[in-house]
Amino acid sequence: MVKPEYISGGSSSGSAVTVARKLVPFSLGTDTAGSGRIPASLHGLVGFKSSLGAWSTKGVVPACASIDCVTAFTHTIEDARMVDSVIRGYDVEDPFSQASAPLTSAKPTRYLVPKKESLRFYGPHAKAFEQAWDESVRVLEELGTPVAYIDTALLSEAASLLYDGPLVAERWAAIGDFIASHPNVAFPVTEKVIRSAKNPAYDAAALFQAQHRLKAIKRQVWEWLGEECVLMMPTNGGTYTREQVRDNPVSANSDMGLYTNHCNLLDLCAIAVPGTTLADGLPFGVTFFAIHESERFIVGAAEAFEQANEPTALLAVCGLHMRGFPLEGQLRTRQAVFKEKAETAPIYKLLKLPGEPAKPGLVKQNEGGNSIEVELWDMPLSEYGSFLGLIKAPLGLGKVVLADGREVNGFICEGSAVEGAEDITESGGWRNALVKDTIQSK
């Protein structure tokens, strides 16, 4: 869904747009403070940022050379791994390059999640972003891996050091000569931020003090994470319209980086992945973080979250696919999950269709009918096609009306099957009908 009134992200948003519009299968962006992850989130993409030095930054116009990274924008985690397999490697011509192991995937042993009071949501859709975050946490909790809740004030403190302290001097080191010799050429807000590095308070002693504090924060955060632990945070806690950013650029950009600015300063790797889409079509995403040596765990976490967060739809079954019956396995092998027992609206006839084995047929009536017991299973949308291929006439999939008014996908039967079939509507359901047959046979 195209919404041109909203921002498209940070400084690498052009790269994200080309992938989102499917002009290219992947693109690269730079990522010093989150501009390779926030645009991914705002376009429903994957944004993978390796550990510092794993990808060469040779040729990148520096922002903060010691923490600059290159990010891949892709539609899938698999594509991000493919891009990584080509780019990853030690570059003798890049002084910041480091040798690193090939990127693999592994399941984390524990997740960390910010305590709710540690987070702030913002912008015109703050409430919707908060609800999407709550849903993402629920999805994570249901993965079955232990989840611990932490106060992320240390991460916020580290993030503030990037722009609101003497570390901004590295930006001046990168392009200060150009700014000084070409006043008023750069975008005004950008120039203002970079020139803040000339603040007399930001002397060498202040810079070392900031670096020492950052070192202490890094040690604490790395102790939290350990080798097999992953932190999940919102990629961004909201978004803004272009007009809102134009009116208040510094504050809006600070908000957008709340949950990304800490990453490179603390030498963390990260992968941003899509989460729940908001009701009005705006994407929401989360990011998984881990320490330098644990890239495989953010990949494993992202894959597990993606699978658990895959769009699903309820399926009503009324016979051989119910729990304990012969075809239950066809649902289980398609990652379908039993949700609840339910009843149809009182507008159906239930037939016992001839054949071996016998199976039920649910036929909607124009007049009369009864409520029939069904089971509701949640099945990934991607599995519906292969499941439909298993169903033989006179059965098929259509819409089934439930007693509470919901319409869900479910098994229905062609009206032509009525002739020659036994009417078992009064039993109220296939399970009851079989029990009745068993009693009568005795």
Neighbours of 166 (CB within 10 A): 21
Would you list the domain boundaries of the chain? 13-153+222-308, 312-441
Q: What is the mean pLDDT of residues 358-372?
A: 93
In this prediction, residue 86 carries a pLDDT of 97
Q: Is there a contact between 66 and 99 (Cβ–Cβ < 8 Å)?
A: no
Place of tokens 């009864």: 370
Instruction: Give 13-153+222-308's CATH code, choosing from 3.90.1300.10, 3.10.129.10, 3.30.70.20, 1.10.1740.10.
Output: 3.90.1300.10
In this prediction, residue 51 carries a pLDDT of 96
pLDDT at 335 over 80: yes
Q: Tens digit of pLDDT for each residue in 27-81?
A: 999 999 999 999 999 999 999 999 999 999 999 999 999 999 999 999 999 999 9
CA atoms of 69 and 408, how far apart (whole Å): 46
Q: What is the mean pLDDT of residues 355-378?
A: 93
Comparing 111-115, 280-284, 309-313, 377-381, the range with the smallest average pLDDT is 309-313
Q: How many residues does the chain have?
A: 442
Q: Do the bridges between strand 337-343 and strand 285-291 make them parallel or antiparallel, or are there none, so unpaired? A: unpaired
Instruction: Give 312-441's CATH code, choosing from 3.10.490.10, 3.30.70.20, 3.40.50.300, 3.40.50.620.
Output: 3.10.490.10
In this prediction, residue 418 carries a pLDDT of 84
Query: Which value, to the nearest 10 degrees, does the dihedral of the CA atoms of residues 166, 169, 171, 173 take?
Result: -170
In this prediction, residue 439 carries a pLDDT of 52
Amino acid present at 262: H
In this prediction, residue 27 carries a pLDDT of 98
In this prediction, residue 441 carries a pLDDT of 53
CA atoms lying within 13 Å on the CB side of residue 381: 6
Q: Do the bridges between strand 312-317 and strand 407-413 make them parallel or antiparallel, or are there none, so unpaired? A: parallel
Q: Tens digit of pLDDT for each residue in 169-226?
A: 998 898 899 999 999 999 888 888 889 888 899 999 999 999 999 999 999 999 999 9
Q: Do the bridges between strand 147-150 and strand 110-114 make them parallel or antiparallel, or are there none, so unpaired? A: parallel
Query: Which value, to the nearest 10 degrees, does the dihedral of the CA atoms of residues 116, 119, 120, 126 take?
Result: -60
CA atoms of 37 and 73, how far apart (whole Å): 8
CB < 8 Å & 24+ apart, contacts of 244-247: 244/123, 244/124, 245/7
In this prediction, residue 438 carries a pLDDT of 56
Q: Tens digit of pLDDT for each residue in 156-165?
A: 999 998 888 8
Q: What is the mean pLDDT of residues 95-114?
A: 96
CA atoms of 301 and 306, how far apart (whole Å): 8
